[in-house]
Structure 1
Amino acid sequence: MKKITFIHAADLHLDSPMVGLKHLPPDIFSRIKESTFTALKKLTAAAICHQVDFVIIAGDLFDGEDRSLRAQSRFRTEMQKLLVHHIPVFVIHGNHDHLNGSWVHLDMPANVHIFDSEVEVKDLHTRSGEKVHLYGFSYPTRHVFDRKIDEYMKVEGADFHIGILHGNESSGTEHDNYAPFSIQELNEKGFDYWALGHIHKRAVLSETPPIIYPGNIQGRNKKETGTKGCYLVELSESDVNMKFIETSDIVWQEAFLDAAPANSIDEVLKLLSAKINDIRQDKTGTLLTLHLENVHLNDDREKRALSEELLELLIADEREEESFVWTFELTMMASQQFDKEHLKTEANFYAELFETIDNYQEINPAITPLYNHPLGRKYLSHLTEEEQDTLIKQAEKLLIELLYQS
């Protein structure tokens, strides 16, 4: 049975400037600056380890159209490693590293095949004899709003057909609508796999055929949370197996900690220490946004110490850690305890409010207007009963707090 194995990566953004992090300790900032290159090395090592037939990079290799010499040189070094192992690499350029940029050009090794500005087909004969057709194009300029998908035409004569496209699925509104396409359009092309790029969050748009966003290989800001990487794909005539391979050296995380059980600053610190150790990952650095909720200390000195010194305490022992958890953003919210029975005696309004909430059966009419917003549709569809109950309780708490403050 015919079979091919390849790595699908996208959005390397090599030499990303990591804006807003220069205030961090020099060693940590240096590691963050190096993280896109570290992720590339992990990608290369995975390709060699698994002896893949080829590698696909679906756009935005470089962070900017100027393509720094440092980024080009480091990329070329990794491609030369793949050349030694006879692994070809198929590359398209995206909106960030489009072909119309201005840069000092470095030649790439012979195993790197770059698609031109018009959709074209490249042939590959694998070591085991399979023939593969790969289809793609590089962005001629930064803004490509044309439906380039119309230009992808299947050319017979290959065992496998793979489309490479850096673009936006038409229904998505969170990103620039570059080279838009629909899932139906991709399905109609009759390809065996679609290697997508542009969206930095990994997503499986379809399983048959596979239509895949691998996400970027290294998160670059607090919006790009979680582990990043690429896909190892094994594609046969009858089946597909995909394995996600982690490449990120630095992981951005957001965490919430309920401090309600803590009655002293020492207990708060113990809760925080346990939370941070839960977050810590082996040999991977973490940049953490931490929300400390329901803080209720009675001692004024402890309150002042917590607000003035907590962040410094959290990061004090992290500077020398390889697997550091660096809290770069901390928010604290004090709890407000409300006695519902007492509030009922203060005003009849509260009694009526709580009775209405307790008898509230259907949340959907209340949130219907939010469905008009794309993010609302994304997060509010298919709410479970437990999730609906949580929303009602949160709304009750917020309403009481706002009323009590007014």
Structure 2
Amino acid sequence: MKFIHAADLHLDTPFLGLKTAPADLWEQIYQSTFTAFAKIIDAALQEKVDFVCLVGDLYDRAERSIQAQLFLQKQLQRLADANIPVYLSYGNHDYVQDTTAELPLPTNVHVFPSAGATFTLITHDQQKVALSGFSYAQRWVEKDMTPIYPVKAAADFHIGLLHGSQSGVNSPHAVYAPFSLTELNQKHYDYWALGHIHQHQLLQKQPPIVYAGNPQGRNPNEAGERGYYLVRQNGHQLQPEFRSVAPLQWQTCFVSVAGASRLTTIINAITKALAAFKQPQSLLLKVVLTHSQQLSPALVQRIENGELLDYFQKQPQHQPFRWLYALALAHDDGVAFSQLDQAYWQKSAVEVFNAKNVQTAAQPLAQANFLAEALKQESLPADLQAQAINLLRENKAITGDEHAD
């Protein structure tokens, strides 16, 4: 038996803030979520998998554009033509709504209802597989949904599809179908296909409890490789293998400007660093200049007012792209973040910077369409938290920990 586990496609992501990129690069950026999913379908056909699991947030927002619907329909039809069934759940971004104005999905697609369901199939090698899951009926599912999942019964393999977050973890995602590993293990399933958290990771090796992550990073917080899991049977166990498909990656590049006294020296150092990237994917880069304490005020001004970034953004681009979306100086403010009480900081950050609080506080702004779209971005709570940290740093309250929750 062999199948694909993917999640969080976020088709039609608007990629706010990148529309100033050159037209051909912008087109590649905008198409990247579509391109990544098409590669997953290519892999499913090439590997001749028994089925495909898609675990929530196929679309980036509840208002699904006809373009995104048509693309998904065509890709899933490719699987239908090869007799590969698809088991699909909707998440917090694309929760179930009135479908009368939407394009129909091919007949090979099995959609989990909000009340939960279990589907079964017989694989090419005559093994019985059960798949259990549910779809979101609204933006938030705050209750634990694991009670609706049946305990494994008469099946060779049982797979759970769950779009949610691990309970007890210090995280702003607690309003999304919280679960515990103990609860999942009590179901005696052979594989848990998880969605919602965008970093691919194995929460447990056997039986595998796995976040597929998203196939394409959508902002600087989603850096590095992105893709899906190809899951193969090995005896009575299922073994996942991560495969990257993202056509472009976000990365941070640190460039030392120690001893630089002229603008051309800094330009050459950055150019050399960019040339060192050999990845086949296009890169969206933030360049951080280190060892910059000796730079003259004039050089610092060129960097901080955006002139140097503008210079690099206007340079000719070639495939694969190496696009600078940000250029900054590394600062050492001299006061360590560890001087604050970490436990209280993290607790307050989780309580304040979560999706529900942000949506509630910003509700008066949502009447403007462009603001409503921005407020739906899943990265918004983390972005606001990062901005709060930066403001504290600017006031010399904290420095250092870029990964603080």
Q: Normalising to structure 1: TM-score of the pair?
A: 0.78
Q: Runs of 5+ in structure 1 lacking a partner?
A: 339-362, 378-397, 402-406
* Match status 1:370 vs 2:342: yes
* Match status 1:266 vs 2:254: no
* Match status 1:181 vs 2:153: no
Q: Across the two proteins, how many residue pairs are aligned to each other? A: 351
* Match status 1:135 vs 2:132: yes
Indicate the residue corresponding to 2:52 in structure 1.
55
SS of the equivalent of 2:126 reads coil
The 2-side partners of 1:15 and 1:305 are apart by 36
Q: How does 1:214-233 map to 2 (within 5 A)?
A: 214-233=212-231
Residues 44 and 297 (structure 1 numbering): CA distance in 2 closer, same or farther, change over 3 Å?
same
The 1-side partners of 2:331 and 2:185 are apart by 52
Residues 223 and 187 (structure 1 numbering): CA distance in 2 closer, same or farther, change over 3 Å?
same
* Match status 1:310 vs 2:282: no
Task: Provide Cα deviations, 1:68-87, integer angstroms capped at 9, x if missing partner.
Answer: 11111000111111122221
Note the C-alpha offset of 1:324: 0.8
Indicate the residue corresponding to 2:148 in structure 1.
151
Q: How does 1:60-79 map to 2 (within 5 A)?
A: 60-79=57-76
SS of the equivalent of 2:328 reads strand
Q: Is the 8 A contact 2:142 2:178 kept in 1?
A: yes
Indicate the residue corresponding to 1:358 in structure 2.
none
Task: Provide Cα deviations, 1:48-78, integer angstroms capped at 9, x if missing partner.
Answer: 1111111100001111112111111000111
Task: Provide Cα deviations, 1:155-190, integer angstroms capped at 9, x if missing partner.
Answer: 422110000000110023132421110011111110
Q: Is the 8 A contact 2:166 2:174 kept in 1?
A: no
Note the C-alpha offset of 1:240: 3.4
Q: Identify the range of structure 1 (159-168 vs 111-120) with the bigger mean alpha-carbon deviation.
A: 111-120
* Match status 1:87 vs 2:84: yes
SS of the equivalent of 2:291 reads strand
Q: Is the 8 A contact 2:114 2:135 kept in 1?
A: yes
SS of the equivalent of 1:134 reads strand
The 2-side partners of 1:181 and 1:302 are apart by 52
Note the C-alpha offset of 1:304: 5.9
Larger Rg: 1
The 2-side partners of 1:276 and 1:87 are apart by 42
Q: Is the 8 A contact 1:66 1:102 kept in 2?
A: no
Indicate the residue corresponding to 1:257 in structure 2.
255
Identical aligned residues as a percent: 36
Q: How does 1:1-400 map to 2 (within 5 A)?
A: 4-100=1-97, 104-172=101-169, 173-282=171-280, 284-295=281-292, 309-319=307-317, 321-333=318-330, 369-374=341-346
Q: Is the 8 A contact 1:132 1:159 kept in 2?
A: yes
Residues 184 and 263 (structure 1 numbering): CA distance in 2 closer, same or farther, change over 3 Å?
same
SS of the equivalent of 2:33 reads helix
Note the C-alpha offset of 1:207: 0.6
Note the C-alpha offset of 1:376: 11
Task: Provide Cα deviations, 1:355-379, integer angstroms capped at 9, x if missing partner.
Answer: xxxxxxxx9xx669314454899xx
Residues 142 and 309 (structure 1 numbering): CA distance in 2 closer, same or farther, change over 3 Å?
closer
The 1-side partners of 2:93 and 2:118 are apart by 23
- Give the letter for the 2:275 counterpart: N
SS of the equivalent of 2:218 reads coil
The 2-side partners of 1:182 and 1:231 are apart by 22
The 1-side partners of 2:161 and 2:298 are apart by 60
Note the C-alpha offset of 1:9: 0.4
The 2-side partners of 1:46 and 1:91 are apart by 18
The 1-side partners of 2:132 and 2:297 are apart by 66
Q: Identify the range of structure 1 (79-88 vs 54-63) with the bigger mean alpha-carbon deviation.
A: 79-88
The 1-side partners of 2:263 and 2:331 are apart by 13
The 2-side partners of 1:111 and 1:296 are apart by 61
Q: Runs of 5+ in structure 2 lacking a partner?
A: 350-395, 400-405
* Cα RMSD (Å): 3.0
The 2-side partners of 1:15 and 1:112 are apart by 21
Q: Normalising to structure 2: TM-score of the pair?
A: 0.79
- Give the letter for the 2:210 counterpart: I
- Give the letter for the 1:212 counterpart: V
Residues 335 and 137 (structure 1 numbering): CA distance in 2 closer, same or farther, change over 3 Å?
closer
The 2-side partners of 1:376 and 1:178 are apart by 19
The 1-side partners of 2:152 and 2:297 are apart by 74
